[in-house]
Amino acid sequence: MTNTENSVATKAQSKIKLIWLQDSRAQRIVWLLEELGLEYEIEAYKRTKDKRAPEDLKKYHPLGKAPILIIDGHTLVESALITEYLVDKYGVQFKPAEIDTKNFLQYRHLMHYTEGSLMPFMLLALITIMIKNAPVPFFIRPITGRISDQLSKGFVHPNLVANYDYLESLLKDQPYFAGNELTGADIMLSYPIENAQERIGGWYNKEKYPNLYAWLERVSERPAYKRAHEKVTDVESNL
């Protein structure tokens, strides 16, 4: 410990490794790391042929899901925990101050809401499509189609619309989800918002959700978002 400067530097930025999976929630963590200006290494994994996470990921955590962040000697699992940890430790500017109760509580609400309430319906939307496209004899297809449609029309679709209507309403009077500044909540929500259109189609469009489209345009202009996009494109080309 003779060189204090080195020692301080080590403390300020320990080695960070992001366990990243193709087409996954890990994308938004790259964006956050870029916003924070942290140095990090990406260990990238490709999805299997049937679109699952590879077994390899289990060497880091028994549930074998990405993203996983290895930082300060901890192995962090769950996107919202990773986001909270990074924001609390390296970027308090991405969290409303506690004194601003309304935005602070909205931030914490959204940290839970994104994966706890919204994403399950996104997963269900994928599953209804899977059921519809299941490889069955042609004379059975109308039946699998009907099951899929019933699930979709009766449950998944109305809930997705209600949830995106809710998100749209949050941006009525403010540019970001927890106030006037970008926070970790925006980063959490980027995944379902970026994926809404391509995953489900039709009901999600610019006319119905102008605030969400404007928000995505707004964040896409950020240099860190662009850098994250470039980084991911680069990582993907090497997979």
Our finding on whether 92 is near its own copies (CB under 8 A) is no
In whole angstroms, how close is the CB of 226 to its own copies at the nearest point?
28
> CA 122, CA 108: separation in Å to the nearest integer?
21
Interface residue with its own copies, options 29, 31, 65, 186 (CB under 8 A): 65
| Phi, psi values for residue 200, rounded to 5° | -120, -30
Our finding on whether 97 is near its own copies (CB under 8 A) is no
Query: For residues 8 and 136, which CB has a smaller minimum distance to its own copies in the complex?
Result: 136
> CA 74, CA 70: separation in Å to the nearest integer?
6
Instruction: Give the interface segment with its own copies, choosing from 28-36, 122-130, 196-204, 220-228 (CB under 8 A).
Output: 122-130
Our finding on whether 162 is near its own copies (CB under 8 A) is yes
Instruction: Give the interface segment with its own copies, choosing from 77-85, 191-199, 200-208, 211-219 (CB under 8 A).
Output: 77-85
Our finding on whether 143 is near its own copies (CB under 8 A) is yes
Backbone Cα Rg of the chain? 20
Our finding on whether 101 is near its own copies (CB under 8 A) is yes
User: What are the distances in angstroms from CA 145 to CA 46, 80, 104, 125, 134?
Assistant: 31, 35, 44, 14, 9
Start-to-end CA span in the chain (Å):
40
Give me the residues that bind its own copies (CB under 8 A), please: 62-65, 74, 76-81, 84-85, 101, 105, 108-109, 111-113, 115-117, 119-120, 123-124, 127, 130-131, 134, 136, 140, 143-144, 147, 150-151, 162-163, 165-166, 169
